[in-house]
Structure 1
Amino acid sequence: MVDIRTGRPATLAPNGMVTSPHSLASQAGVDVLRAGGSAVDAAIATSAALSVLYPHMTGVGGDAFLLVHDAKTGAVRYIDGGGRAAAAGTIDAFARRGLAEIPYRGVLPGTLTVPGAVASWGMAHAAYGRLPLKRCLESAIGYARNGFPVTARLAYWRELAREELAKSPEAAAIFLKDGAILTNPDLARTLEAIASDGWHGFYEGEVAGELARWSKANDGFFTLDDLKTQNARWGEPLKGSYRDVTIYETPAPTQGFAVLEMLNLLEPMEMHRKPFLGPDYVHLMVQAKQLAYHDRDRHLADPRFASVPMERLISKKYADERRALMDPARALPWDKIPSYGSLAGDTVYIAVVDAEGNAVSMIHSLYGGFGAAVVAGRTGVVLQNRSAYFSLDPKSPNRVEPGKTPLHTLIASMAFRDDRLWAVVGCMGADGQPQIHLQTYLALIDHGRDIQEALETPRFLSGRFAIGEPRDTLHLEGRIPAETIAELERRGHMVNRWGAWNELAGHAHGITVDPVSGLRVGGSDPRSDGAAIGY
């Protein structure tokens, strides 16, 4: 008899695999793989489908960052798809509007930065695409035009955002209609323009004209010129190591370095010898998080505008210095290791491995639920509110400036053993993303869980979910052992007990590659509507 240790088994496949937070989107990606598409083709197909099927989490109006592994060369390449601030996006522009901080919802955050995801799709496809972009977007266009079923999760998040969505006539017309099927014919036409003309179909032409018209009519920021200057950028990923595993993360302006710093802090503490989910195991991860997030809030910004000491932050030597602040016996007070983030945020993560061993790790987001909660005119595009992460403090490295990308919580990851692709891992969860990467990697590396077991493991997230909540709140899913929770409280942690499962603990997904058989082993988070699908 096989022991049942998860709600579902890991998915095994000999060729290609896709995993994402919606099963129909994963299937769209696998359909493209079966048609001869590359890992990049499948990632674009999945990302586009999610832009329709999961509008509360992602969309054409958001940003996307990718790690791409080329099996022939062994290289891991990075695409920065962060949207840039409009030319009119200045601190003075907000002062003239009488605002001391950037609003979280509405036209202003929606138009302060230009959507970057379509530029990411185009750059990746130009380098690694095999099928026409039209074929990659086929499923997404069909779901937008003909409709798709509203899941219980989408219905829940729609109700949560109802008041904000109602303020946007275009958003209300699409998302607040009754019925089990949702359609977005305007978005179908936007996707068709992208399918026909790629970058030009979105940032120029009729779609761009409507985006700019709507922005101007609503006192927004971006213009046609801002849209035309948006592009994605190739760059070098961050590279670190933990025990026998080499791990790649996305660099600034994303917070990927925090994962590598936490792993560096914990490596000498022999986490593989700590009881899995025991009090020491959780306590030390929380303290590593506090140190890394303090560094994040102090240093992280767009490296084209600010000096980010990245090499130092991810060095083993720096971790050795910082580790002295960790206290194995007591919780660290936030006034000693401060952090200023918020855990709220919604995103989708996509992992793809194709039959040749090429892989994509892709993170794509609107930031908050339904982003800025506005739809840009007749485009059907939900605009992101990522620009709410900008600061209006002139002294902040993350202050708003024209052409600048805000601090990004979005991160994507890949891992290698013996110079061979071993894992493609990522998640949603805003500030929680590095914490979820850390917990997933430690479950895989230190405690031998398979990818599905690692993703189903009960999670903690350290930090606040709402303004006014203490920053040192430690949120714990109820499946964490009761004795661990009790000991964490004894050590001074401010514990918030969640139920057995909580969607706020993030949607994580991943694929591992068996080093002997080469089988793709896929996992999907039961906290989402997703599935790992292979062939």
Structure 2
Amino acid sequence: MRDFQFPGRSPVRAMNGMAATSHPLSTLAALDVLRSGGNAIDAAICAAAVQAVVEPQSTGIGGDCFMLFCPAGTDEVIALNGSGRAPAAATIDRMKALGITTMPTFGPHTVTIPGAIDAWCRLQQDHGKLSMADVLAPAIRYAEEGYVIHDRVAFDWVASAELLEKDPHASDIFLPGGKAPKPGDVHRQPALGQTLKRIAAEGRDAFYKGPVAEAMVRRLNALGGVHTVEDFAAAACDYVRPISTDYRGMRIHQVPPNNQGLTALVMLNILSGFDLGGLDPNSADRFHLEVEAGRLAYRDRNERIGDADATAEVLSPLLSAERAQHLRSHIDPNKAMTDLPDPKLSTSDTVYISVVDADRNAVSFINSIYYSFGSGIVCPETGVLLQNRGASFRLDPSHPNALAPGKRPMHTIMPGMVTREGRAVMPYGVMGGDYQPFGHAHLLTSVIDFGMDVQQAIDSSRVFYQDDKVVAERSVPEKTVAELREKGHDVISAEEPLGGGQAIWIDWEQGTLTGASDPRKDGFAAGY
């Protein structure tokens, strides 16, 4: 239990249903869906749609999503890959002919076909109880009538003003009066509201065929993109077989590649060989092991993960005990490794949503446009802001993540699910681009090894590894920073909070739910 004389928040506790998101309007909309008879799938889609309006720097209908779902709280984990593909005309040779030798971060060549709407509609059809019109209604209302800008949203928004200024349509919508909105300002996106209305009435084809798709293609082509209406019409999500590993008797589930969830499982396999529970959770010893495990796991990610064959024959060796022991043997508990390449990691924006309903359907849902405000490109007729997920492609044809027609890029966004003894016990996720495997490992070890409740685990101080340096949040104790330096780490202070996160713990014996949301964002958990 936390010390109530210090700032902080308690976890939220309820018996029926619960939602946890990074934005208050999203959490409240999801809870309204649950209380009006919708299930966890309905609520998650509703929450994602609301955030696509009110948290536009982090997500949108021009982006992608992934989901893990445990029906009725069983350990039958259903995984859905809702990530989009490169256009059919996108080739390495074409990029090189344009003088592009590495994938740009922004612009039309980074825009993969958005997968989120196809995934939402498929999930609603297969597992939802309500209609798309029902679950999209709150998002439509906020887009048309307006929403209040929250503080963390404003913090991120102003940092992207330079990107938004480069696109006149993005500037018109997102820099009203030439400036980023401030906390407390009211913002509207009427064109996006009309597009959402079309989807609510006509389903996925309203987005991928006809006037909306044609307008997005025209906008991209005008900027030099190679997208076609056929690329949009062919968009399709896939149910995939989840991957998992055992950690201290818990089963940790992730979406397989092209998703980077494998990286978190490799980190946990490495850490399972250390007695973390015997350490101080804020100690240099704990953070050192986390950093070193991460550096090794990210090397595997950078060399091996792409839109490749995610079969057991390919993935099992990477998740084997033998592989974990081999990687673990390189870690000196007292000294930082000096022979690993810089994994070249960065942080970015995402929204993660955790929902459990009265029937204990458990949903772990993540939706993103990648970097803050994605590609920076807006289609003015539709109000759709397009993602820049293709920025992660490589232009080396021998690399697993090489650009190719119709190929999905390696994805950073990764929902997590924990099961035990035949039941789901925690849908969870941590946002932050490349930081996410670090965040998953940190959250899970805080709960499982250190016995923290989910809010304490999400609140706890974080570190990351970036530009060959350990990046530490300001809450990391000075003594810990000094001892990390003694171990050979170059430690710097984080300029921004590291990620965000949500989780809901299911207590089957008591029949209760315990939820948490990250104070690094604007949101909260709520239940009834």
| TM-score, normalisation: structure 1 | 0.94
Partner of 1:520: 513
Partner of 2:363: 360
Distance 1:72 1:340 in 2: 37
Match of 1:278 in 2: 283
Count of equivalent residues:
521
8 A contact 1:214–1:376 mirrored in 2? yes
Post-superposition shift, 1:2?
A: 7.5
User: What is the CA–CA distance in structure 2 between the aligned matches of 1:149 and 1:400, rounded to whole Å?
Assistant: 39
Given that residues 19 and 351 in structure 1 are in contact (C-alpha distance below 8 angstroms), is that contact kept between their aligned partners in structure 2? Answer: yes
Matched, 1:253 2:246: no
Find out whether 1:495 has 2:491 as its counterpart.
yes
Measured in 2, the distance between the counterparts of 1:510 and 1:462 equals: 24
Alpha-carbon distance between aligned partners in 1 of 2:3 and 2:309, rounded to the nearest angstrom: 52
For residues 76-122 of structure 1, the C-alpha deviation after alignment (integer angstroms, 9 at most, x for no partner) is 11100111000111112212212112221122213xx1001111111
Query: In the TM superposition, what are the counterparts of 1:152-231 in structure 2 within 5 Å?
Result: 152-178=151-177, 180-231=185-236
The answer to whether residue 11 in structure 2 is matched with residue 19 in structure 1 is no
- SS for the counterpart of 1:346 is coil
Shift in alpha-carbon separation, 1:527–1:73, aligned structure 2, 3 A? closer
2:3 maps to 3
- Give CA deviations for 1:296-332 in whole Å, capped at 9, x if unaligned: 1110000259999311111222101221111111001
Which runs of structure 2 are paired with 1:305-454 in the superposition (5 Å)?
309-333=314-338, 336-454=339-457
Match of 1:44 in 2: 45
TM-score by length of 2: 0.96
Aligned match for 1:482, one of 472, 478, 485: 478
Residue type of the alignment partner of 2:203: G
- Cα 1:534/1:73, change in 2 over 3 Å: closer
SS in 1 for 2:353: strand
Conserved 8 A contact 2:68-2:255 = yes
Q: Is the 8 A contact 1:105 1:372 kept in 2?
A: yes
SS state of the match for residue 378, structure 2?
coil
> What's the secondary structure of 1:312's corresponding residue?
helix
Shift of 1:515: 3.2
- Tell me the residue number matched to 1:291: 296
Measured against aligned partners, the alpha-carbon deviations of 1:229-262 in whole angstroms (never above 9, x if no partner) come to 1100001111111112111111101111111111
> Conserved in 2, the CA contact under 8 Å of 1:116 and 1:232?
yes
Q: In the TM superposition, what is the alpha-carbon distance from 1:394 to its structure 2 partner? A: 1.9
For 1:231, the aligned partner's letter is: A
Distance 2:269 2:433 in 1: 22
* Alignment check: 8 A CA contact 1:6 1:456 kept: no
Distance 1:495 1:74, change over 3 A: closer
SS of the aligned residue for 1:118 comes to helix
CA change 1:247–1:200 in 2 (3 A) is same
1:244 is the counterpart of 2:249: yes
Aligned to 1:109: 110
Do the aligned partners of residues 89 and 306 (structure 1) sit closer, same or farther apart at CA in structure 2, a change above 3 Å counting? farther
* Structure 1 residues 457 and 22: CA distance shift in structure 2, 3 A: same
1:123 Cα deviation after fit? 1.7
Q: State the SS of the aligned residue for 1:382.
A: strand
Contact 1:58 1:364 in 2 (8 A): yes
For structure 2, the 5+ residue unaligned runs are none
Rounded Cα–Cα distance in structure 2 between residues aligned with 1:402 and 1:107: 15
Q: Which amino acid aligns with 1:315?
A: S
> Which segments of structure 1 move beyond 4 Å, counting only runs of 4 or more?
304-308
Does the CA contact (< 8 Å) of 2:415 and 2:429 recur in 1?
yes
**1:305 touches 1:404 (CA, 8 Å); kept in 2?**
no
Q: Which runs of 5 or more structure 1 residues have no equivalent in the other structure? A: 464-470
2:72 is paired with a residue whose SS is: coil
Give, in whole Å, the separation in 1 of the partners of 2:73 and 2:457.
Answer: 29
Between 185-194 and 93-102, the greater mean CA deviation after superposition: 93-102
Query: What is the match of residue 473 of structure 1?
Result: 469
Any idea what SS the aligned residue of 2:384 has?
coil
Provide the C-alpha distance between the structure 1 equivalents of 2:105 and 2:267, rounded to a whole number of angstroms: 29
Pair 1:305–1:215, CA change in 2 (3 A): farther
1:457 Cα deviation after fit: 0.4
**Partner letter of residue 478 of structure 1?**
R
Aligned to 2:269: 264
* 1:511-535: CA deviation from partner (whole Å, max 9, x where unpaired): 1112321211110100001110111
Instruction: Describe the SS at the equivalent of 2:438.
Output: helix
Distance in 1, Cα, partners of 2:394 & 2:330:
28
Q: Which amino acid aligns with 1:279?
A: A
Q: Report the CA distance between 1:165 and its aligned residue.
A: 0.9
> What is the CA distance between 1:429 and its match in structure 2?
0.7
The match for 1:133 is: 132
Q: Secondary structure at the match of 1:325?
A: coil
Query: Residue 60 of structure 1 corresponds to which residue in structure 2?
Result: 61
Shift of 1:225: 0.1
Question: How many Å apart are 1:152 and its aligned residue?
Answer: 2.6
163-172 or 378-387, which deviates more: 163-172
Q: CA RMSD in A?
A: 1.7
* Secondary structure, aligned partner of 2:427: strand
Equivalents in 2 of 1:170, 1:14: separation in Å?
46
In structure 2, C-alpha distance between the alignment counterparts of 1:284 and 1:498, rounded to whole Å: 19
- Relative distance call for 1:197 and 1:304 in structure 2 (3 A) is farther
Distance in 2 separating the partners of 1:450 and 1:397:
39
CA contact (8 A) 1:455 1:523 kept: yes
Identity %: 38
Summarize the Cα distance change of 1:2–1:74 in structure 2 as closer, same or farther, 3 Å threshold: closer
Contact 2:473 2:494 in 1 (8 A): yes
CA contact (8 A) 1:347 1:430 kept: yes
**CA-to-aligned-CA distance 1:12-57 (integer Å, 9 cap, x gap):** 1111111111010111111111111111100000000000010000
Task: Give SS of 1:375's match.
Answer: strand
1:506-517 matches, cutoff 5 A: 506-517=499-510
Residue range with higher mean Cα deviation, 297-306 or 513-522: 297-306
The AA in structure 2 aligned to 1:486 is A
